[in-house]
Amino acid sequence: MANPKTKSKDNGAVSTAHKFERNDGVPFDAGWFEHIHVNRSAVERRGATLGKRRSVKKQWQAAWLLRAISFIDLTTLAGDDTPSNVKRLCAKAMSPVRQDILDALGMGKENIMTGAVCVYHNHIATAKKALEGSNMPIAAVSTGFPAGNVPLAEKIKQIELSVAAGAKEIDIVISRELVLRSDWQGLYDEVKAYREACGEAHMKTILATGEIPTYTKVAKASWVSMMAGSDFIKTSTGKESVNATIPVSLVMLRAIREYEEKSGYKVGFKPAGGIRTAKQALNWLILIKEELGDEWLDPDLFRFGASSLLTDIERQLEHYVTGRYSAAYRHPMS
């Protein structure tokens, strides 16, 4: 199973060209989403059965977990981040699984890497230097992450500075008060301004669903964000008390599917926060496959926001190879 970022035979460079047309957005039209009303009990019932109806075992599980690695935005967003931490994170992103495990799986030459590295703005330069030659994208959080409670002009300036510093992907946060007040035109205008500031950089719009009280508002916020030109919609900052869940992901995925049917644009999805185990990752891959199809099982359309998930995936892969579980410290994340 080759990673999408594979070395070119011509010059040894690593290609990260996006396969899908960017979402240019559409003019604001409340008629596209104002009728939506989400049945909470039905959504939660569907989410509760997901992990029970399907399971992936043995070599198929190993293959799915290898694939999951390419979807990870390997992330460090801590107050005590240092240049050395970021350098180690980048090294892990480029070599996420021990070579002996890959060799045992017959994948030692496949150049498997994570989907991106995600850092604060101040660490973009460090990450860029550490990733030099790999062409792995750097994602930067912006717009007053995580709360977003700073003036709009400052948010836009943050985006522009991160793009200028070398970030190829910008994770922006919306103003949650606009969702709480159902100010959909205001939300559209805000996200559209962010998209313009991003330029060629791809924009992931964080809804912070743990701070949105109903699934109906999550669905409408998803629609508005996509209409305004979001390349991805993302569940959480990872800093809320409730982060990515299967039910809220289901609501957002249904919005993505319907938006693609109506507009023709494919929008990516990124669950983030609280995804720590290989079993959880598999549940999200199954959900993507069932709701959006195999085409979305691609780093251009699906990412995990995670820091510790990779450790458990590597442990599970070693268990498949050796039949024994190793201690987590043998698979340091960074």
CA 146 to the chain's CA centroid: 15
Considering the candidates 270, 298, 300, 312, report the single residue annotated as catalytic: 270
Distances (CA, A) of 315 to 290, 309, 327: 27, 10, 8
Q: Which residues of 148-187 are buried (b: 16+ CB within 10 A; e: fewer)?
A: beeeeeebbebbbebbebbbbbbbbbbbbebbeeeebeeb
Structure tokens at 317: 């892969």
234 tagged catalytic: yes
Rounded CA separation 32/305 (Å): 29
Amino acid at position 243, single letter: N
Distances (CA, A) of 310 to 1, 9, 75, 121, 238: 17, 29, 11, 23, 16
Considering the candidates 234, 266, 298, 300, report the single residue annotated as catalytic: 234
Considering the candidates 73, 171, 231, 298, report the single residue annotated as catalytic: 171
Residue 15 · residue 5 · CB < 8 Å? yes
Rounded CA separation 92/99 (Å): 12
How many Cα atoms within 13 Å fall on the side-chain side of residue 325?
6
Of 211, 216, 213, 248, nearest to 233 by C-alpha is: 248
Catalytic residues: 171, 234, 270
